[in-house]
Amino acid sequence: MNTMAVKYSFADYLPIFLILCFSGNPIFTSAGYSKNLLILFSALFILYSLLYINARELTKALKQLSLVIFIIIVLSVFQKYSLGSVSYPGVIALVLKIALGMFLMLLYYCKDINLLDIYIKMLSFLAKVSIPFFILNYFAFVGLGMESPHQKSLLIYTSFDLPKETLRNAGMFWEPGAFAGYLILALLFIVMLNKDFILGNYKKHAFWIVIGLFTTMSTTGFLILAIFIFIYVFKNYKYGRIFVLPIIFLISFYAYYNLDFLNAKIEEQYDEASEMEATDVSNTRFGALNMDMIYIMDQPFTGNGLDSKTRYRFHPWVDSDIGHGNGMSNFIVWWGIPFLLFWLVCVYRFAAKNSYSIINSLLVTIIIVLVLQGEQFLNFPIFLMFFTAPAIKIAQEKHEEEEEEEEFDNEYELSV
C-alpha cells in the first residue's frame, strides 16, 4: 500500500491524537483529575476499538499483553514482600497505558491504516501548527491555566511564562524535550517504513519535523538529530560523505560549543552530578542517573516499585515528583533491568519486522535508548505500545500471507 497516497479523515487522526494527548499533554496528564480521566478514557477507547477489532487479532494481541501483565504482577509481588509496599493505582495505570497502546495499534490495523504513516503525518502537523503558537508565546502568555503557574495550555500547544531568551517550543506536551522525543520517534518511523535511513516520499513531513526539533532547543533532541544526519549521509552518499561528513562534524562542533543548551548545559549537569553526595537529590540527566544507581544496585532485577516510600526509600524526605530527568534509569529503578531489556527486545523486534535489516533495527533501538535519556517516555502509551507491537506486526504479516495464498488458490482454480 502506498501510504503517501492515503488521505486520512478527521476520524482517522482522532485516535492517535488522543493517545498522544494521554502521552504528555498537560490538560490530560498533569491535573488532579488525570487518573480518573485515564480510567474513563481507557474504558471508552477500548469499547470503541472493539467495534472494529476482529476476535482473531484481539486474541493474539491479548496473549502478549497477558505476558506483560504477568511480569508486572510478579515484579509487584516481589516488591511487596521485599520492600513492604506497592502502589496499586500506579500498577493499574501502567497496565491501562500499555493496553491503550495495544488497542491503538489493533484499531488501525483492523481499519487498514498504517500506524507509522499516520503518526508521522500527525507529528508533522503538530510541528507545523506549533510554530505560530511558539512565536505568539514571545508576546503573550495565553491558554487554560495548569497546576504550574508558569504553564498554560491551548490543547495543541503548551505556552510558558518565561523570559524570552529561555522560551522553547514544547508543542502540545509538558516540556520541549518531550516534544523533541516524539518528533525523533516520527523520524525513526520514516526509517522503518522506508526500510532504511532515507526520507523517500516523506521529505515534506521530515522538513516540518526537523523544523519542530530545532525550535525545541532540546539538548537530547539536537544530539540525536546530529547522529541521525550522520547516519543518513553515511548510508546514502558513498563519495559525498568524504566532503559532507566533515562539514557536518564542524557544524556540530561549532553548535556544541556556541549553544548554551548544549555545551554549557551538559557540562554544568555533569559537574553537578560528579559532586553529588549519596544523600543528594537531582532531577538532571546525569544527576538523576547518579542518584538512581543506588536503587538499581540494591534492586537490579525486581525494581523498587512506583510507591514513593519504596522508590525513594534512600531519600525519605522526597515525597512527590521531582521532575526526574532520566527516563531510562527511572524505569529501571521502578521495574528492574530485565523488564527494560524485555521492552528493548520488543522495540528491536518491531523495528526488524518493519525494516528487515539487523543493522537498521539496532540503530533504531540505540537511538530510542538515547531518546529515553531525556524524559519519562516509558510512562506513556506511545512508547509503552512497543510491549505488544511485535505480536501485532507478526499477526498482520500472517494475515497478509494467508490472503495472498487464498488469492493465489482462487486464481489457480479459475485458470483450471
For residue 49, the model assigns a pLDDT of 96
For 185-188, the CB contacts below 8 A with 24+ separation are 185/119, 185/123, 185/368, 185/371, 185/382, 185/383, 186/119, 186/120, 186/123, 186/124, 187/228, 188/351, 188/364, 188/367, 188/368
The model's pLDDT over 303-333, given as tens digits with 9 standing for 90+, comes to 999 998 999 999 888 776 666 668 899 999 9
Range of lowest pLDDT (39-43, 336-340, 370-374):
370-374
pLDDT number for residue 352:
96
Residues recorded for the chain: 416
- For strand 144-145 and strand 158-160, is the pairing parallel, antiparallel, or unpaired? unpaired
Query: What is the C-alpha radius of gyration for the chain, rounded to an integer number of angstroms?
Result: 22
Predicted confidence (pLDDT) per residue in 83-130, tens digit = 999 999 999 999 999 999 999 999 999 999 999 999 999 999 999 999
- 34 CB-near residues (< 8 Å, 6+ apart): 28
Poorest-pLDDT segment among 59-63, 389-393, 402-406: 402-406
Cβ-proximal residues to 239 (8 Å cutoff; 6+ apart), any chain: none
Least confident of 143-147, 298-302, 399-403, 406-410: 406-410
Region 226-255 average pLDDT: 78
Largest CA distance in the chain: 80
- pLDDT bin (cut points 50, 70, 90) of residue 135 is very high
Region 261-283: what's the mean pLDDT?
A: 64
- pLDDT at residue 108, as a whole number: 96
Query: What global pTM score does this model have?
Result: 0.92
